[in-house]
Structure 1
Amino acid sequence: MGVVILFFGLFFMGGWAVALAGLGRASLMLWRDRGQEWVRSHGHPFARLLLPAPAYLRFDKTLAVTVLLADLWLVSGIVVLGADGIFTEEWMGYPGMMDPGGQGYQAGAVSMLRTTAWWSASAAVLGRCWTTAVVQLTVLPLSALWIASFDTYYT
């Protein structure tokens, strides 16, 4: 088994706990900063919309790290589940038996990553979490391109 697939396997097994811990930290930060201003009270209304208060920026950065960990967990799950008979990359080692039901796995995984990127980035923009939106629009589409570049038994 390749070292890289071992990394993805370990992150897939424990990454959910790390992502939940990050979400807990973001929630704790919301609770801790509840008495502070979340919107700037001075300046032009457009500037107040684009530049949130420092408490909100701290929350946005924590949320960005949390979604980055969740994205890594999602990509790790796709790679680990696809390594068992669908993908044929050299660094994955011998993938085992060919899965007859996996013909649409790669296309479905790429579509899911792109859809998740757009929905989560849209939710982040609506919540004015600019850093989180940038993370979602860079990590997930690049991961989708990376997974789409894998060789499979079916191509």
Structure 2
Amino acid sequence: MRSGIWWGMGVAILLFSLAFLGGWAMALGWLGYSVSMLWRGRGQPWVRVDGSPFARLLLPAPAYFRFDRALAVGALLADLWLVSAVVVLGADGIFTEEWMGYPGMMDPAGQGYQAQMVGLLRSAAWWSAAAAVLGRCWTTAVVQLSVLPLSALWVASFDTYYRQ
């Protein structure tokens, strides 16, 4: 029974480590794809010409909507990379969740790690969503306001070596 827990913990840490190591490359690659979509759609209208000004503001043209969806996927990949980085770096002796195993002793400087990472995830959510709203990227704003705050709640729920 005990070996099954350790095997499951090893698989979970391996998946988070792989997401941490390769996630930044996938996020940057997808961001490049989003920029290429922006470049390919430069000859197409970005704002609707029909309807009221309020409807034109809220409903972007199809080319801009395609860019918004691509940007939302890139933001989701970057968010997953950020969360995996928080978990992988915290698994080095700060978090003591069952699936991570016992971390052992840790430097007292790690006491504020969990609170700092929760604050980082929340502020990243608000700043990136505000930038998306300013750019009228509604799908990207929804992704940022749903993934990062929920991840911050998840990280805040972890037991730490200092708070058990």
TM-score by length of 1: 0.97
- Residue aligning to 1:58: 66
Distance in 1, matches of 2:104 and 2:133, equals: 43
Q: Which residue of 1 aligns with 2:41?
A: 33
**Shift in Å, 1:94:** 3.4
Residues 65-84 of structure 1: pairs in structure 2 closer than 5 A: 65-84=73-92
Secondary structure in structure 2 of the residue aligned to 1:73: helix
Gaps (5+ residues) in structure 2? 1-8
Q: What is the alpha-carbon distance in structure 1 between the residues aligned to residue 10 and residue 68 of structure 2?
A: 36
How do 1:71-110 and structure 2 match up within 5 A? 71-110=79-118
SS at match of 2:72: helix
State the TM-score, normalizing by the size of structure 2: 0.92
Partner AA of 1:62 in structure 2: A
Aligned match of 1:122: 130
Instruction: Report the aligned-residue RMSD.
Output: 0.9
Q: State the Cα distance separating 1:6 from its structure 2 match.
A: 1.0
State the AA in 2 paired with 1:5.
Answer: I
1:5 paired to 2:7: no
Stretches of 4+ aligned residues off by more than 2 angstroms: 93-97
SS across alignment from 1:101: helix
For structure 1, the residue ranges without an aligned partner over 5 or more in a row are: none
Kindly indicate whether the alpha-carbon contact (under 8 Å) linking 1:86 and 1:95 is maintained by their aligned counterparts in 2. yes
1:48 to 41, 53, 56: 56
Distance in 2 of aligned mates of 1:97 and 1:61: 44
Q: Secondary structure at the match of 2:111?
A: coil
What is the rounded CA distance, in whole Å, between the counterparts of 1:31 and 1:78 in structure 2?
Answer: 33
Offset from partner CA, 1:1-20 (integer Å, 9 cap, x none): 52111111111011110001
1:142 aligns with 2:150: yes
User: What residue is the counterpart of 2:120 in the other structure?
Assistant: 112
Question: Number of matched residues?
Answer: 155
Task: Give 1:101 shift.
Answer: 1.1
Give the number of the structure whose alpha-carbon radius of gyration is greater: 2
User: C-alpha deviations, 1:97-154, integer Å up to 9, x for none?
Assistant: 3232100000000000000000100010010000000000000000000000000011
Which amino acid in structure 2 is aligned with residue 19 of structure 1? A
Segment of structure 1 superposing worse, 46-55 or 87-96: 87-96
